Amino acid sequence: MRIYIIIPAHNEAQFIGQTLQSLIQQTKLPDKIMVADDHSTDDTSKIVQSFMAGNPYIELVRNISEGTHLPGSKVINAFYRAYDKIDEQYDIICKFDADLLFPSNYLEKMESHFLSSDKTGICGGFCSVYEKGNWIIENLTGKDHVRGALKAYRKECFLEIGKLKPAMGWDTVDELLAQYHGWQIKTDPGLLVKHLKPTGINYNQSSKYKQGEAFYRLHYGFILTGIASAKLAYKKKEAAFLVNSLRGYYKAKNEKQPFLVSEEEGRFIRHLRWKNIRKKLFS
């Protein structure tokens, strides 16, 4: 299968070289790596260019945007800057972060999962973080979810879900819509990817309501938003997160922000969420 990788990068000079080195040492090499340098002010582009010399499948695209980091829209806009320049000959399209260290068999294992079932639409391993001398799984989401840092999509699924939404929550809505269209999500707990920079380290005050806004735009409703926000607040160990998320939900509701999914898709999403909650409560 032909694998294309897109890596949005903003001021990632500290890590991008390690990420690219881990990708050019894969047992199955990617057919294309596109790095979208999103308005970096450091040496990100120079480092990418140093890898391009001996690896013709690596390309650099520069994107000019605001320097402010807002979760969701900024990274996906940079993703599209690169995506718009690739051909359509890929079988798997990956959106990877620029601060990851992949095990050498990562792409080979991803390919095997896609080949083993034509129903697999999205696939990925798990991020691990360094704590107290050990690499442990980054415990922010469930084991049935592929983190936005290392998404891999079958082409047919990627196109059917309408690609990626340039908004907070894009890496949740993609999986929900994939399931709406009958695709399956495959996670591999045996593939641990080292996440060199903690999630959310660049988030700022202007982004604190974004999670609640995303829940509203996904048609969650208030009760589901409360449950999901409380779960994330517990995992992040931040009580303020719950309050800010609920404020964000009402902010989006009062502003009548546009939904990311249709009403029919929203009903499916709520049904799926409640089904999963009941499963966890009574299993």
Note the pLDDT tens digit of each residue in 173-206.
999 999 999 999 999 999 999 999 866 545 455 5
Instruction: Give the pLDDT confidence score for residue 137 in this predicted structure.
Output: 87
Q: Which of 10-19, 66-75, 235-244 has the lowest mean pLDDT?
A: 66-75
DSSP collapsed to 3 states, 131-182: ECCEEEECCCCCCCCCCCCEEEEEHHHHHHCCCCCCCCCHHHHHHHHHHHCC
Give the pLDDT score at 133: 87
pLDDT tens digits, residue range 111-129? 999 999 999 999 999 999 9
What pLDDT does residue 14 have? 96
Assess contact for 130 and 41: CB atoms under 8 A.
no
Token representation of residue 243: 């309050």
Band the pLDDT of 279: cuts 50, 70, 90.
Answer: confident
Residue 16, burial from CB neighbour count under 10 angstroms (0-12, 13-18, 19+): buried
Q: What is the pLDDT at residue 234?
A: 87
User: What integer pLDDT is reported at residue 141 of this predicted model?
Assistant: 66
Share of the chain above pLDDT 70, in %: 92
130 has a pLDDT exceeding 60: yes
Does residue 220 register a pLDDT over 70?
yes
Pairing status of strand 134-137 against strand 120-131 = antiparallel
Residue carrying the six token digits 């604190």 = 208
Q: For position 209, what pLDDT does the model report?
A: 87
What is the predicted pLDDT for the residue at 217? Answer: 93
Q: Is 62 left (phi over 0), alpha (psi -120 to 50) or beta?
A: beta
Q: What is the pLDDT of residues 65-105, one digit of tens each?
A: 655 545 557 899 999 999 999 999 999 999 999 999 999 99
Domain extents for the chain?
3-195, 208-282
Mean pLDDT taken over the chain = 91
Mean pLDDT of 241-249: 93
Question: With the C-alpha atoms ordered 224, 70, 154, 27, is the resulting torsion angle positive or negative?
Answer: negative
Task: Please state, in angstroms and rounded to a whole number, the distance separating the CA atoms of residues 212 and 226.
Answer: 9
- What number is the average pLDDT over the span 270-280? 89
Tokens 């499916």, located at residue:
268
Whether residue 99 contacts residue 197, with contact meaning beta carbons closer than 8 Å, is answered with yes
Cα separation, 125 vs 127, in Å, equals 7
Distance, CA of 57 to CA of 30 (rounded, Å): 8
pLDDT given for residue 95 in this prediction = 98
pLDDT at residue number 140 = 67
Tokens 């029919």 belong to residue: 264
Q: What is the predicted pLDDT for the residue at 139?
A: 75
Residues 6+ positions from 275 with CB-CB distance below 8 Å: none
> Percentage of the chain with pLDDT > 90?
75
Q: What pTM does this model have?
A: 0.90
Convert 212-238 to b/e letters by CB count within 10 Å (16 or more is b).
Answer: bbbbbbbbbeeebbbebbeebbeeeee
Domain 3-195, second-level architecture: Alpha-Beta Complex (3.90)
Cα 195 to Cα 276: distance, rounded to the nearest angstrom: 28
